[in-house]
Chain A
Amino acid sequence: MPINRLKILQLASSFRGRARNCINIARLRVEKALQHAYIGRKLKKRHWRSVWIQRINAGTREHGVTYTSFITGLKAENVQLNRKVLSELAMNEPYSFKALVEQVKFMRGSSRGPA
């Protein structure tokens, strides 16, 4: 079999129906699948950032701070941890995360001043 046809049918090996065996149909479905993969690689980055943010929000609200206050506080202190790491801390290192939240509360509280 010519090599391009072989490659396409290998890519289409898990497809449904004739798309896994018949080259003309497989070629169409594989093209579409590659397009979806291209778009998906860009969407994946957005999706995960959104999930990290939701996890950080949940973690900070357990300590009485909202996500926005937390992030502005971190920026003010030049803490350059990214959201991926922060969400991992929130899930797996609760005491370290709590230390970060307390630091933010302390810095924001003192800069705002009493009342």
Chain B
Amino acid sequence: GKDKPTYNPKKERGDVVVVLNAAHVHLTHDKWNTKLYRWHTGYPGGLRSRTAREQWEADPTELIRNAVNGMLPKNKSREARLEKLKIFPESEHPFEGFPLVPFLPKPRLLQDRGLGWALPQHLALVRWCPPSLLLTPRGPGLGAAAQGFEPANPERYRFRLRTSPGLQGGAGRPVVGIEDLLTEEERRALAAAGQQGV
């Protein structure tokens, strides 16, 4: 309730937060199979666990609720604050008549670390990409428009695009190792671009 002049540290008078489409939450890497939600029943040997997939099947809103619960300070207000969070799996919610203001987070720069998950399909290039297209220095226009973000470390990002198998639309082998397959002009272009210090 800190955005109101009637702030009282003991009472939770803040706004209610409504989360929609919680069932469409996305987990990176292999977390659907490896992330465990654990709880203890209180009896000896009563440590139970469930994978994220099973938890989602049991109650899809629990994924977000558990995450937010862990981020709140562990004090007496935590329970009251968690009750202010209303999570709904799909877009239907019973707060139709209320003045709901959509929450727009500030735009952030995200660095694509090139691990695990692949870019969306429409951005992945054809199976084997001619070096002329790959090795052109990716200016801010092409890179930002294609991926929707500015890489924080452009040289490293370009290196990763060239070498990591997952980001090349399933080629499965790094570009650096296919010199024998290049035609003469492509070899010359590669040499020229290499001298530029890509």
Residues on A lying within 8 angstroms of B by beta carbon are 51, 54-59, 61-62, 87, 90-91, 94, 97
B-side contacts of A51, CB under 8 Å: 7-9
* Docked-complex contact B4 and A58, CB < 8 angstroms: yes
Residues on B lying within 8 angstroms of A by beta carbon are 2-9
* Docked-complex contact A54 and B7, CB < 8 angstroms: yes
| 5 pairs from A and B in contact (CB 8 Å cutoff) | A58-B3, A58-B5, A58-B7, A87-B5, A91-B6
Kindly state the separation between the CA atoms of A61 and B4 in the bound complex, as whole angstroms.
Answer: 9
Partner of B2, one of A58, A90, A94, A97: A58
* Docked-complex contact A55 and B6, CB < 8 angstroms: yes
Kindly state the separation between the CA atoms of A59 and B7 in the bound complex, as whole angstroms.
Answer: 10
Kindly state the separation between the CA atoms of A113 and B47 in the bound complex, as whole angstroms.
Answer: 67
A-side contacts of B8, CB under 8 Å: 51
B-side contacts of A94, CB under 8 Å: 5
* Docked-complex contact A56 and B5, CB < 8 angstroms: yes
Kindly state the separation between the CA atoms of A87 and B7 in the bound complex, as whole angstroms.
Answer: 10
B-side contacts of A56, CB under 8 Å: 5
Kindly state the separation between the CA atoms of A59 and B5 in the bound complex, as whole angstroms.
Answer: 5
B-side contacts of A58, CB under 8 Å: 2-5, 7
Q: Which has the most chain A C-beta neighbours within 10 Å: B5, B6, B8?
A: B5
A-side contacts of B6, CB under 8 Å: 55, 91
Kindly state the separation between the CA atoms of A58 and B7 in the bound complex, as whole angstroms.
Answer: 8
Kindly state the separation between the CA atoms of A74 and B6 in the bound complex, as whole angstroms.
Answer: 21
* Docked-complex contact B9 and A55, CB < 8 angstroms: no
* Docked-complex contact A61 and B3, CB < 8 angstroms: yes
Kindly state the separation between the CA atoms of A91 and B1 in the bound complex, as whole angstroms.
Answer: 13
Q: Which has the most chain B C-beta neighbours within 10 Å: A54, A91, A97?
A: A54
* B5: min CB distance to chain A, Å: 4
A-side contacts of B7, CB under 8 Å: 51, 54-55, 58
